[in-house]
Amino acid sequence: MVTDKVKYELEFVVKSSANLLYKYLASPSGLSEWFADNVNSRGEIFTFIWDGSEEQAKLIGKKRDQFIKFKWIEDDDTASYFEFRIEIDDITKDVALIITDFADEDELEESKMLWESQVDQLHGLIGG
């Protein structure tokens, strides 16, 4: 079933190397430090745990130090996914984390605020 979710992107400047940032985005231990209470992976399936509830996502693409893309297994919307992309400005060498996600229109602002809160935690870890 396809729903009418809205795709959105958020961009955050991160004071970190792409390599260090990628470790926080692509490894269960890194994700456990800022994104979820705990993260486990078995092959391409990542289990994210928040306050005792679990959500599973399938790893659907990655390229070291550039991006990692997941699809929630329980999500019926075949087009939706969430992605962490790392971009480096050619001139300033600033590292940016671009998050792409989908949300129902009535949950869009709440979803963006949740990401901002999570990325604040990430900034705290890497000093950015």
Q: What is the pLDDT of residue 3?
A: 59
CATH architecture of the domain formed by 6-126: 2-Layer Sandwich (3.30)
Which regions of the chain are under pLDDT 70? 1-3, 128
Length of the chain: 128
Q: How many CB atoms lie within 10 A of CB 1?
A: 6
Domain boundaries, the chain: 6-126
pLDDT digits over 60-83, tens only? 999 999 999 999 998 887 889 999
pLDDT score for 4: 79
Q: What is the reported pLDDT for 79?
A: 85
User: What is the predicted pLDDT for the residue at 28?
Assistant: 97
pLDDT digits (tens, 9 = 90+) for 19-31: 999 999 999 999 9
Residue 111 pLDDT: 96
